[in-house]
Structure 1
Amino acid sequence: MTEQDKKPYDLEERTEKFAFRCRVFVKNLPKNISNIEYGKQLIRSSASQAAKY
C-alpha cells in the first residue's frame, strides 16, 4: 500500500495494535479472580473489534 492509498485514520492497523496492547496489559496484571475475568473480557472485546473492522 502506498502512502497515497493509505487512509488518513488507518483504523484497521490501529484496532490491531489496540488489541495487541490490551493483551500485553492483561498479561502484566496481578493474577486474581477479578483481573482474570475482566482480562478475558478485555481481550475478547478488543480482538473482536479488530476482527470486525
Structure 2
Amino acid sequence: MKILFKLALFAILTILGGVAFIRYTYNCSWKESFDIADEFVNDLLDSNRRS
C-alpha cells in the first residue's frame, strides 16, 4: 500500500512539475498551462491509438 501511495504521489508531482514548467517557459496563466498540458496528453494518447 505504501508503494502505491508513493507512485501516486510521484505521478502527481511529475504532472504538476510539467505544468509549472509550461507556465514559466511560455509565461502564461495556470489555466492556460493546464490546457496546454491537457492537449499534450490527449495528443499523446491519440497517437498511441492510431498505431
TM-score category of the 2 structures, normalised to the smaller one:
0.3 to 0.5
Calculate the TM-score normalised by the size of structure 2: 0.47
Higher RCO, Cα 8 Å, sep 6+? 1
Calculate the TM-score normalised by the size of structure 1: 0.45
Higher helix share: 2
